[in-house]
Structure 1
Amino acid sequence: MLVAAVLAELGGLATRAVLIEATSRREVDGALRRGEVVALSRGRYALPRVRTAAATAHALRGVLSHTSAALHHGWEVKLVPDRPHVTVPRNRRVSSRDRAVADIHYAVIAPEDISDGVATGVELTLLQCLRTLPDDEALAVADSALRHGVPPATLRRVAMSVRGAGSEKVRRIAAMARGEAANPFESCLRLIASTVPGLCVRPQVRLAGTSMRPDLVDVDLALVLEADSFGWHGDRVALRRDAQRYNAMVVNGWLVLRFAWEDVMFAPDYVRGVLMRIVGLVAKRAEPCCSHECSA
């Protein structure tokens, strides 16, 4: 299940080339044969439940929405839902059997807000996700939309036009969104970092004098945060390459913290605690030394 696990870490969608780089050609082909991953199109792979979601929505006479619609648009998400999100008209009666195969939402959706006849359109999908999802999931969707070509002006339009409950949250997440973010793992780490006073990280900043672009960088604190996925660090060659890379950052004056996918996704309090402690440590080191030390 290594390929499926890597695909889940990548947000449910990935190209064949990326999966092969993270695992191997043999493992990817084996996962395809076993049905652990499926091909959506030439060179574009997904977890099986991503492909079956549209059929479920059609059977329920509804449309994919929320993170299921995001996946339909080709945007990676923090966690691929076990059951697709399906929105049906407000007066639709849904049986308990149907509720067992989908998370049902009710709304009036205009025809122009439906994409490909099966999912909410780009702007409505962004609005639903940014309004209703937890902050980290919402940011992962917004980052991914920008990464895959949604114009920043579209996201700004969604944020400016929203009214009512959750509108402040929509505008806040939209303002944070960055297309430079590499994947949902990195987006979720950045969201946690945004809650730490004194910490301001940006994605994929090139370190001065090098070709390295770490996942997240706080230039003022000379701090690097790396979102370490097992798929890219699971053999001796990768271990040596990464050790050399991290050593190069450290000897050039950067503090480097590495976070596992499981901690970022499921133990955010631990991650936040580490970040708060490192910010405090950097601040303490920056304090002027006491008088007797300075006179020594």
Structure 2
Amino acid sequence: MKAAPALERLGGVASTQALLRLTNRRQIRRAARQRSIIKVARGRYALPTAQAARAAAVALSGVVCLRSAAAHHGWELKTQPELPEVAINPRRHLPRGRRADVRVAWMNVAEDDVVAGVTTPMKTVLDCARHLPFDEALAIADSALRSGSVTRAEMDSAQVRGAGAAAVRRVLAHADARAANPFESVLRALCIEAGLDVVPQQAIDLTTGTVHPDLVCVIRRLVLEADSWSFHATRKAHRRDCVRYNLLTIHGWRVLRFTWEQVMHEQAYVRWVLRLIVTGRVEQDEVPQAARLSA
């Protein structure tokens, strides 16, 4: 896999070690030369999302916001914005031609919510929770906590009002630093929407050892794994996972495994599986194509 798509799959920012699970050093060097990825620190790369947004915001005298701001803060995203996202005061007149290559968010941003032309970490979390789909917003909030840019106390004390306040409170209530990456965050969002109470990295004692699955629903004795092939590249890793899954089954746990493609791009299938787990039934005509086994 080329380095830029690999980095996008990892959320847009990753260490060299994580990137090498999906690509190789030659591809990384080539992408860095072509500026399709940027070395932001020793052993750490990012997509040029934030850089492009900063340039667009300066050109429009606006403020980098939403997913572009999240990328600036070094957070991992479910999806990179197709265009730089820039906040513009609604009272301003901005000719259509000047905003052709920018996604304009018409909103007021207070001076104390901006640092160096970018919305502050907490403001970014709140804006994303208000304006983005739940799964994208939760992935960003999880990453904000994981990075240390925003604390749990800040989220708990946030005063939220106005349109979209319920969506914001929902994201803040469920944000969890224990989620390892956007893949896991998005799967958790789908579980929450389905009515499953899941905990990231919950410890399970299997007598011969303790495991920490991606998501655990204790009341249903259900384990959900965000199953990435990049972490199963060796026979040793595959053997370890087989032992782990067998022990979970022996101890009475049901294990569901979902691929990155399913969670990110085939959500109808994931929702169908989760709905079946919760309700115990599903209409035949509701079965998504991804669930139909070829003959």
Letter in 1 for 2:118: A
Equivalent positions of 1:231-246 (< 5 A) are 231-234=230-233, 236=235, 238-246=237-245
Would you say the 8 A contact 2:50–2:69 is kept in 1? no
Would you say the 8 A contact 1:126–1:155 is kept in 2? no
1:11 aligns with 2:11: yes
1:168 aligns with 2:159: no
Distance in 1 of aligned mates of 2:243 and 2:167: 41
Post-superposition shift, 1:166? Answer: 1.1
Distance in 1 of aligned mates of 2:49 and 2:121: 21
CA gap 1:52/1:41 in 2 versus in 1, 3 angstroms: farther
SS of residue paired to 2:194:
coil
Would you say the 8 A contact 2:49–2:68 is kept in 1? no
Post-superposition shift, 1:92? Answer: 2.8
Distance in 2 of aligned mates of 1:135 and 1:12: 19
Distance in 1 of aligned mates of 2:280 and 2:105: 46
Post-superposition shift, 1:237? Answer: 5.2
Q: For each residue in 1:177-207, what CA deviation from the matched residue of structure 2 results, as whole angstroms up to 9, or x when unmatched?
A: 111111111111111111224x321101121
Equivalent positions of 1:1-296 (< 5 A) are 1-115=1-115, 117-149=116-148, 150-158=150-158, 161-197=159-195, 199-209=196-206, 210-234=209-233, 236=235, 238-280=237-279
How does the TM-score come out when normalised to structure 1? 0.85
CA gap 1:124/1:194 in 2 versus in 1, 3 angstroms: same
Post-superposition shift, 1:279? Answer: 4.0
Post-superposition shift, 1:51? Answer: 2.8
CA gap 1:233/1:36 in 2 versus in 1, 3 angstroms: farther
Distance in 1 of aligned mates of 2:202 and 2:4: 29
Would you say the 8 A contact 2:63–2:86 is kept in 1? yes
Percent identity between the aligned chains? Answer: 45
RMSD: 2.3
SS of residue paired to 2:216:
strand
Letter in 2 for 1:11: G
Greater Cα shift, 18-27 or 106-115: 18-27
Would you say the 8 A contact 1:228–1:261 is kept in 2? yes
Greater Cα shift, 252-261 or 242-251: 242-251
Would you say the 8 A contact 1:12–1:50 is kept in 2? no
Post-superposition shift, 1:238? Answer: 4.4
Q: Flag the structure with larger Rg.
A: 1
The alignment covers a number of residue pairs equal to 278
Distance in 2 of aligned mates of 1:27 and 1:243: 32
SS of residue paired to 1:250:
helix
Distance in 2 of aligned mates of 1:62 and 1:153: 29
Distance in 1 of aligned mates of 2:96 and 2:232: 44
Distance in 1 of aligned mates of 2:69 and 2:34: 26
CA gap 1:240/1:204 in 2 versus in 1, 3 angstroms: same
Distance in 1 of aligned mates of 2:27 and 2:246: 31
Post-superposition shift, 1:278? Answer: 3.1
Would you say the 8 A contact 1:181–1:203 is kept in 2? yes
Greater Cα shift, 75-84 or 51-60: 51-60
Higher RCO, Cα 8 Å, sep 6+: 1
Post-superposition shift, 1:147? Answer: 0.9
Q: For each residue in 1:122-174, what CA deviation from the matched residue of structure 2 results, as whole angstroms up to 9, or x when unmatched?
A: 2221221111111111111111111111111111222xx11111112211221
Greater Cα shift, 21-30 or 218-227: 21-30
Would you say the 8 A contact 1:68–1:81 is kept in 2? yes
Post-superposition shift, 1:104? Answer: 0.6
Would you say the 8 A contact 1:9–1:229 is kept in 2? no
Post-superposition shift, 1:53? Answer: 1.9
